Amino acid sequence: MSQDELKTVEEYMRKNGLRWTSQRRQIAREAFATHDHFSADDLLDVCKQKDVRVSRATVYRTLGMLEEAGFVEGLDTGDGGKKYEHVLGHEHHDHMVCTKCGRIIEFFDQELERRQERAASRHGFLIESHSLKLFGKCRDCR
Amino acid sequence: MSQDELKTVEEYMRKNGLRWTSQRRQIAREAFATHDHFSADDLLDVCKQKDVRVSRATVYRTLGMLEEAGFVEGLDTGDGGKKYEHVLGHEHHDHMVCTKCGRIIEFFDQELERRQERAASRHGFLIESHSLKLFGKCRDCR
DNA sequence: ATTGATGCAAAAGATTTGCAAACTG
DNA sequence: CAGTTTGCAAATCTTTTGCATCAAT
Shared domain check, A133 and A98:
yes
Structural domain for B98, as ranges: 91-142
**A23 and A62: one domain?**
yes
Is the same domain home to A113 and A63? no
Cα–Cα distance measured from residue B22 to residue B95, given in angstroms and rounded to the nearest whole number: 32
Instruction: Note the pLDDT tens digit of each residue in B52-103.
Output: 999 999 999 999 999 999 899 998 887 778 999 998 777 889 999 888 888 8
Asked whether residue B141 falls in the same domain as residue B75, the answer is: no
Cβ within 8 Å, pair B126-A105 = no
* pLDDT tens column, A31-87: 999 888 999 999 999 999 998 999 999 999 999 999 999 899 998 877 778 999 998
Q: How many CB pairs under 8 A join A and B?
A: 123
Q: Which residues of A touch B136 (CB under 8 A)?
A: 120, 125-129
Which strand (E) or helix (H) includes residue A73? strand A72-76
Which residues of chain A does B94 touch, with a Cβ-Cβ cutoff of 8 Å? 119
> Same domain for B14 and B26?
yes
Mapping DSSP onto H, E and C, the string for B49-91 reads HCCCCCCHHHHHHHHHHHHHHCCEEEEECCCCCEEEEECCCCC
The total domain count for chain A is: 2
The residue type found at B6 is L
pTM equals: 0.78
Cβ proximity of A128 and B141 under 8 Å: no
Q: Which of B11, B36, B10 is nearest to B24 (CA)?
A: B10
CATH of the domain at A21: 1.10.10.10
